Amino acid sequence: MDLEANKAVVRRIYEEGFNRGDVSVFDTLYATNFRHHSKTIHDVSSGAAGERESMLRFREAIPDVRFQIEDTIAEGDHVVVRLTVTGTPVKAFPPIQPGEPVEFCAVAVFRLDGGRVTEEWFYRDAAG
């Protein structure tokens, strides 16, 4: 298991997918049976397609969103990142409402198999 390769996959998800809006990363880096355990929106497709839809909706709500990876830890088949998320919402993405710029911290836990993400858990810091 290549821990550095797994960390690179997760970096690409945030840098290319969420920050740049490149939808191809979801087809390339997510397994077809991907499962998100802590989804905030539920009316999306399952698997990688649903994660792509979620990213597009999030970027529509916060077009200038930036996910800054603060820390990355890899162990076995898991990668954990601590993030700072910033941007100015123009539409609602519950619990985020349009208006003032937002900044919050989050932690995401990914499980990978064969260089593809198979599971994710996302936890937003309620204080920020």
pLDDT, one tens digit per residue, over 39-52 is 665 566 677 888 88
Q: What is the mean pLDDT of residues 75-87?
A: 97
The predicted pLDDT at position 41 comes to: 57
Domain residues for the domain of 59 are 3-124
Where does the pLDDT of residue 18 fall: very low under 50, low under 70, confident under 90, or very high at 90 and above? Answer: very high
Let me know: does 113 contact 77? Beta carbons within 8 Å. Answer: yes
Average pLDDT of the chain is: 90
The predicted pLDDT at position 93 comes to: 86
> How many domains, the chain?
1
Whichever domain contains 40, its CATH number is 3.10.450.50
Q: Is the pLDDT of residue 97 over 60?
A: yes
For the entire predicted model, the pTM comes to 0.91
d(CA 126, CA 79): 22
